[in-house]
């Protein structure tokens, strides 16, 4: 089964690094985050990757020319193309078959075989992984002005967000119009309206790398031997 990784954006909030390399090539403990992501898939037997590149795509191509641990095709899907458009550009390469999809900046200790089983069981166009967003701040329990409990950066227990790690049927691509279609808007909204979008709830570790603080936090987890995605 093909695994598509969206890896073409600018990553402007990590400009300290992304002025030299694309965001998925920013390193977490000496290894690009995209390789951390791919290792999650490889762990569950998925090793056929298409990287939908754009910004500084030549950096990704050069890296994987020297890295033979994975079966990888890096495709230049354009610097200005949006998330939905990048998938549409891969239509012929997906061979009208079910495929997996994720972003080039998110890590999770997700069981991908269970995700695929869930998708097959529900028989819908799209399965999306729903995750609890990590809190940006410490959470306090206060009674009569006394702090009874303090937890720093806990995982929130209410609300779900898009954690990536999709399984998608090829007929979903009919909802993507062109290069300027944003996956997370019209296509997924239409799939939801048609009752063709289901959520696989992942309640364990998930984190994306949007900022330098996120990068440092992920590196700290590795240094503490607490990187549950590895």
Give the N- to C-terminal CA distance of the chain in Å, as an integer.
22
Is residue 162 within 8 Å of residue 130, measured between CB atoms? yes
pLDDT (average), residues 6-31: 94
- Structure letter (DSSP) for residue 66: S
Of 193, 198, 162, residue with least CA distance to 175:
193
More confident residue, 100 or 147: 100
Residue with tokens 């944003």: 182
Of 2, 174, 8, 179, residue with least CA distance to 84:
179
Q: What percent of the chain has pLDDT over 70?
A: 90
Most confident residue range from 69-73, 86-90, 136-140: 86-90
Is residue 172 within 8 Å of residue 191, measured between CB atoms? yes
Q: What is the pLDDT of residue 207?
A: 94
Residue-wise pLDDT tens digits, 74-96: 999 999 999 999 999 999 999 99
Question: Does the pLDDT value for residue 142 go beyond 50?
Answer: no
pLDDT (average), residues 89-115: 98
Q: What share of the chain is helix, strand, coil (3-state, %, to 5)?
A: 35, 25, 40
Of 83, 31, 19, 33, residue with least CA distance to 54:
83
Q: What is the pLDDT of residue 156?
A: 56
24, exposed or middle or buried, with CB in 10 Å at 0-12, 13-18, 19+? Answer: buried
Prediction pTM value: 0.90
Is residue 202 within 8 Å of residue 140, measured between CB atoms? no
From residue 201, alpha-carbon distances to 118, 130, 166, 212 in Å are 10, 5, 12, 27
* Cα angle value 8/171/36 (rounded, 5°): 35
Q: What percent of the chain has pLDDT over 90?
A: 83
């Amino acid at each position: 089964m093909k695994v598509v990784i969206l890896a073409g954006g600018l990553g402007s909030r990590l400009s300290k690094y992304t002025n030299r390399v694309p965001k998925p090539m920013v390193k977490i403990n000496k290894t690009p985050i995209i390789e951390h992501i791919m290792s999650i898939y490889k762990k569950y037997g998925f090793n056929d990757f298409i990287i939908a590149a754009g910004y500084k795509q030549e950096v990704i191509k050069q890296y994987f020319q020297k890295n033979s641990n994975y079966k990888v095709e890096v495709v230049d899907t354009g610097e200005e193309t949006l998330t939905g458009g990048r998938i549409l550009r891969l239509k012929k390469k997906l061979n009208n078959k079910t495929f997996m999809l994720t972003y080039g900046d998110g890590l999770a200790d997700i069981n991908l075989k269970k995700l695929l089983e869930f998708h097959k069981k529900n028989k819908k166009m799209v399965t999306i992984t729903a995750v609890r967003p990590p809190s940006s701040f410490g959470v306090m329990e206060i009674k009569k002005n006394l702090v009874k409990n303090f937890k720093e950066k806990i995982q929130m227990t209410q609300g779900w967000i898009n954690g990536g790690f999709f399984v998608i049927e090829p007929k979903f691509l009919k909802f993507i119009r062109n290069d300027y279609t944003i996956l997370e808007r019209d296509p997924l909204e239409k799939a939801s309206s048609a009752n063709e979008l289901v959520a696989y709830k992942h309640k364990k570790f998930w984190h994306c790398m949007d900022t330098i603080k996120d990068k440092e936090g992920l590196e700290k987890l590795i240094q503490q031997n607490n990187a549950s995605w590895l």
